[in-house]
Amino acid sequence: MADPHVIQDPSDPRLDDFRDLTVADRRPDRPGGRGAVIAEGVVVVRRLLASPYLVRAVLGVAARVDDLRGDLSAVDVPVYVVTPQVMSDVVGFHLNRGVLAVADRGRPRAAEELLTGDRLLILEGVNDHENLGALFRNAAALGVDAVLLVHRCSDPLYRRSVRVSMGHVLRLPFATLPRWPEDLSAVRAAGHSLVALTPCAGALPLSEFDPSRHPRVALLVGAEGPGLSEAALTTADVRVRIPMAGGVDSLNVATAAAIASYHLGSG
């Protein structure tokens, strides 16, 4: 890697990509949004550097930049070293992880490109950034090939989602299904069984669903609270539930999806 640039003035224009991170990661179609992909912390920055996203710059305190020296040696990006106070002045709040990287979003994937995977996760209306990040992290850990997002889902590349996913949202392909639930017909036509996860008592207990009989599966998951829409439940090939002890009506959506994904991948 080239020698880092030491910057002492928070108004230096070279740091503009990192300025006011409270809005920098919003999509360009949102108020104040610049559409940046922002990674926080050594682990997540490392995953961004290894991802397909085009990194524009890295900003950090000296110790954290040094932690990334090996990763930075493989890329040609400007690296800026600042004090914790300068970093705080630039980003607009105290950042205790000590290092950031900013990248371009790139071209959105088309859903049709991702239907070749055997295991898909389809999310409807998941509008909590932390839940979305956790869903991506679990999906990556459990061998899901791609994630498809439906209307009202949060932005996976929002800074909080990237952070909670531990950077795995940067390597797991995702796309949007623009027509819902009509686009599920294309998922089914690609050979996937549509499995809807729901707490409804009439659904099949998850343990009774035999994944060996369904080599290609798309797991449908809804937001906490409302769950999947009636349209999604009606379109699905089968509804499954995770039996729970009395007095507990549901699990966190990321936890429930992880349990189901583990079972569906055991065939």
Q: Which amino acid is at 95?
A: L
What is the distance between the alpha carbons of residues 55 and 46, in angstroms, rounded to a whole number?
11
pLDDT at 114: 97
Cα–Cα distance measured from residue 28 to residue 23, given in angstroms and rounded to the nearest whole number: 10
- What is the C-alpha end-to-end distance of the chain, expressed in Å? 45
Angle ∠(95,164,123) on CA atoms, nearest 5? 145
pLDDT at 106: 85
Q: Where are the domains of the chain?
A: 5-103, 109-264
Neighbours of 191 (CB within 10 A): 14
CATH number of 5-103: 3.30.1330.30
The whole-number pLDDT of residue 246 equals: 82
The pLDDT value recorded for residue 2 is 65
Beta bridge partners of 40: 100
Say what the pLDDT of residue 35 is. Answer: 74
Which CATH architecture is the domain 109-264 placed in? 3-Layer(aba) Sandwich (3.40)
pLDDT recorded at residue 249: 79
**8 A C-beta contact, residue 143 and residue 172:** no
Tokens of 261: 């994904």
Alpha carbons within 13 angstroms on the beta-carbon side of residue 235 total 19
Tell if the pTM clears 0.75, that is, is over it.
Answer: yes
Averages of pLDDT over runs of 10 residues in the chain (267 residues) are: 89 92 62 77 97 95 96 94 95 88 91 96 96 98 97 89 96 95 96 96 95 96 92 97 87 96 88
